[in-house]
Chain A
């Protein structure tokens, strides 16, 4: 999808999200996601690569950040102080955490997908798992670490 198409789709599906056009190929959106009782302000930055560029899905993925409340760390949690995030991303200089909301190997997100029906609900599911992790110190949502088997249920109507 082109950036204009993404902007148009987001405005139609998620009218409360505020869009900022950064340059010809990049835009960001900010809005609220609330898996449970706590609302989270989330920022998504998406940059459409040039056609001639070959980049991995992980490289071109939309960058998802939680603006507030700040994500909490739990130093004694089994999977690390804040699991399923990237602490840095080669596309930007600022530090993360950026949420890891999809499995690139499984092509759960591609450049053809509307953000409104992938990245945004994916981030909502991530935040839900995060809130459960805060309570239990275990990532109970669907998850996988690179090179390891996935967790969670083994049935999917999508696969």
Chain B
């Protein structure tokens, strides 16, 4: 696709769609973050399997699970490279082994070491996994499982033990089966990729450069381990935004204090039930959120708790720990409704910076709200410098960073060239706002 068409694609996005795209871009793990995370859980598995370890020779395999396996992992802090990685470590031990013993051994295998790599790290023994906190803020959740014979591929048993209550049990799961099912089910969209690419080029200033770096035919290439945003399914990107919204809600809002948040895997499974909606990220997000909420409302109407199962292995119930009660599911349903209402209202009202700041601060946090406005300004500055920021005779702005805002005049756009519209005023040159004193002469 040539640059002029890309400018038209960027222009047609609408500022709220563009804002959600900018948020999505900021949430992505970089290839190096992805590679480092992979290296870490693989090294952890080798460390657990080392001679002298309580689990020496017991490690069969380690593989990513959760959001990492479905390319939906997000940065937990936008300004830093913090993110969480879930990995399954398959052990060759009797499946009847006491859960507390399995978790204690895994914990001991990591902490009781002379290896400088692991000394001094904070390691937590949780009820189903051991969490390793690295000094750069990345955490790896290592969940020990045992593969079950005579079951579908990679069906395993996890070990649950809570020392404080003594609660202990095992549970059949198939996280790898779910990841494969999810990745095969979600559809990628070339149009979606093209829209993201156009927005990226506009914000990065390449759209008006002489040699923009375009990503062509990305979706026809083999799926890489680290999937760039342009190649992700709209469903996955919507899921990432929803996770960001959830994390902010359960971290910052007083009425969520102490509440367990809806697990990512429950959200991912429900997202698969949403109908296909096309290439708009806003529509995708609204549809996934509405589907999720409808499922909760339906269960609640019948006096039940939400029951979500692993479509790749139905005995694996994803909702075994959340929602704990109907209040918990109602809280999340109300959150989802709030998200949908706010986004619809914002889209209807247009892009007012103060309102955008307030709404995005509420939905995603102050850092992201600021990021949205900064990216918006970058896109607009590039449009000004590129000669693509125009004015209507009635004094409204028309540029790839802000259109379409005024439907009544959108019909006069796209007269060719840089998308310069008929009847629009194009400045003779870019302008820079100055500051200082005026000389007297």
User: A: which residues have CB within 8 A of B?
Assistant: 13-16, 31-39, 55-56, 58-59, 79, 83-86, 88-90, 99-104, 106, 108-109, 113-114, 116-118, 120-122, 124-126, 128-129, 131-132, 134-136, 138-147, 150, 152-159
- Whether the Cβ atoms of A122 and B394 lie closer than 8 Å is no
- Whether the Cβ atoms of A84 and B435 lie closer than 8 Å is yes
- Whether the Cβ atoms of B354 and A113 lie closer than 8 Å is no
- Tell me the bound Cα distance from A108 to B428 in angstroms: 9
Most buried by A among B351, B352, B374, B436: B436
- Whether the Cβ atoms of B433 and A118 lie closer than 8 Å is no
- Whether the Cβ atoms of B384 and A37 lie closer than 8 Å is no
Q: Which label, helix, strand, loop or mixed, suits the secondary structure of the A interface?
A: loop
Chain B neighbourhood of A99, CB < 8 A: 433
- Whether the Cβ atoms of A143 and B434 lie closer than 8 Å is yes
Q: How many whole Å from A1's CB to the nearest CB in chain B?
A: 12
- Whether the Cβ atoms of A101 and B385 lie closer than 8 Å is no
- Is B300 interfacial (CB-CB < 8 Å)? no
- Whether the Cβ atoms of A86 and B438 lie closer than 8 Å is yes
- Tell me the bound Cα distance from A37 to B15 in angstroms: 13
- Tell me the bound Cα distance from A142 to B385 in angstroms: 9
Encode contact with A along B390-410: 1 for CB under 8 Å, 0 otherwise: 110111110000100100000
Q: How many whole Å from B192's CB to the nearest CB in chain A?
A: 26
- Tell me the bound Cα distance from A37 to B396 in angstroms: 9
Q: How many whole Å from A156's CB to the nearest CB in chain B?
A: 4
Which of A36, A128, A134, A143 contacts B435, CB < 8 Å?
Answer: A143
Q: Which residue of B lies closest to A91 (CB)?
A: B438
Encode contact with A along B204-217: 1 for CB under 8 Å, 0 otherwise: 01001100000000
Which of A59, A100, A131 contacts B354, CB < 8 Å?
Answer: A131
- Is B58 interfacial (CB-CB < 8 Å)? no
- Tell me the bound Cα distance from A55 to B280 in angstroms: 53
- Whether the Cβ atoms of A141 and B381 lie closer than 8 Å is yes
- Whether the Cβ atoms of A102 and B386 lie closer than 8 Å is no
- Whether the Cβ atoms of B432 and A108 lie closer than 8 Å is yes
- Is B101 interfacial (CB-CB < 8 Å)? no
- Whether the Cβ atoms of B435 and A144 lie closer than 8 Å is yes
Within 8 A of A (CB), among B311-366: 349-357
17 contacts between A and B (CB under 8 A): A39-B395, A59-B440, A90-B441, A113-B428, A117-B426, A118-B429, A121-B390, A124-B397, A125-B389, A128-B380, A128-B397, A132-B353, A134-B354, A135-B356, A135-B357, A140-B381, A155-B209
- Whether the Cβ atoms of A117 and B384 lie closer than 8 Å is no
What is the total of A-B residue contacts with beta carbons within 8 Å?
201
**Interface residue tally for chain B (C-beta within 8 Å):** 52
- Whether the Cβ atoms of B389 and A13 lie closer than 8 Å is no
- Is B120 interfacial (CB-CB < 8 Å)? no
Chain B neighbourhood of A100, CB < 8 A: 433-436
- Whether the Cβ atoms of A155 and B205 lie closer than 8 Å is yes
Within 8 A of A (CB), among B412-437: 425-437
Chain B neighbourhood of A38, CB < 8 A: 352
Most buried by A among B431, B439, B441: B431
Q: How many whole Å from A151's CB to the nearest CB in chain B?
A: 8
- Whether the Cβ atoms of A158 and B434 lie closer than 8 Å is no
Chain B neighbourhood of A144, CB < 8 A: 432-435
Q: How many whole Å from B66's CB to the nearest CB in chain A?
A: 35
- Whether the Cβ atoms of A155 and B432 lie closer than 8 Å is no
- Whether the Cβ atoms of A86 and B391 lie closer than 8 Å is no
- Whether the Cβ atoms of A58 and B439 lie closer than 8 Å is yes
Chain B neighbourhood of A146, CB < 8 A: 434-437
- Tell me the bound Cα distance from A112 to B236 in angstroms: 54
- Whether the Cβ atoms of A129 and B377 lie closer than 8 Å is yes
